[in-house]
Amino acid sequence: MNRVAVVTGAARGIGAATVCGLAQAGWSVVAVDRANDDPRLPYAMGTRTQLDELVSRAGALGGDPHAVVAHVADTTDAAALAAAVAVAEERFGGLDAMIAVAGVIAGGVPLWEMPTDQLDAVIDVDLWGPIHAARVGVPALLRRVAPRNGRFLAVASAAATKGLPQLAAYSAAKAGVAGLVRGLAADLAGTGVTANAVCPGSTDTAMLAESARLYGLADTAPFADQQAVGRLLEPEEVAAALVWLAGEASGAMTGAVIPVDGGLSL
């Protein structure tokens, strides 16, 4: 049976790399992105052009240009995410993995000085986004006929367990994601559907570039010094963990919050 995934935050970064990795592994994928800026945040989000280019690239990697489709949706809108799940079921016949990658960052000041609209954006996207993904994705995973191998996956962060200065709201949201997958794992016991999260370290993405700006850094290079591997991670390295977790071989793991952080959390 062809396996089917919905991936949010797909236009760039870890989301794009995950779509490509799944396509190479033979998956059909609905690649979801808001494809528009968030007026609450001072940096650019992924674009529709990037999303379309990603779909073309992933389709070519997988050898089937029709196996990856774009879907524009704001992950803070449960109805919009439900529509993406409906595309997966109607076009590809079901859903086997719901992968919540979309994330934003804001801060650069103590929590009590953070603008309310930026605080709302971080909590909405980084915590409510995965919650909405679970609420619309898990029922679809359970609609697969037993015995099933469904996967709910979310991207948390090393910030879920390691306090980072001037990023308290982001840390709180990502810690919430860790709690979310643990609770889902308990709810899903015995169903054949698992729930896990990965916690990336400093990864070479647009979000890390924004982190550097928040800290007043000229570039992202100083973040590499905080990681035992002595370098920034590539999005493909985090995506490789997500692709494996999405597969049937990961069935013994549920409720896990897995560091893919280059040693940042040591």
Residues 90, 68 contacting (CB under 8 angstroms): no
Which tokens belong to 32? Answer: 């979801």
Sheet holding 193-200, edge to edge: 68-72, 28-33, 4-8, 97-100, 150-155, 193-200, 257-260
Q: Annotated active-site positions, please? A: 170
Burial category of 161 from C-beta neighbours within 10 Å (exposed 0-12, middle 13-18, buried 19 and up):
middle
Separation between Cα atoms, residue 182 and residue 169, nearest integer Å? 20
Q: Could you tell me the end-to-end alpha-carbon distance of the chain, in angstroms, rounded to an integer? A: 40
Q: How many CA atoms lie within 13 A of 146 on its CB side?
A: 5
Separation between Cα atoms, residue 88 and residue 118, nearest integer Å? 32
- CA dihedral for 129, 110, 258, 69, sign (positive or negative): positive
Residues 117, 130 contacting (CB under 8 angstroms): no
The continuous run of DSSP H or E covering 64 comes out as none
Place of tokens 């692709």: 243
3-class secondary structure, 243:
helix
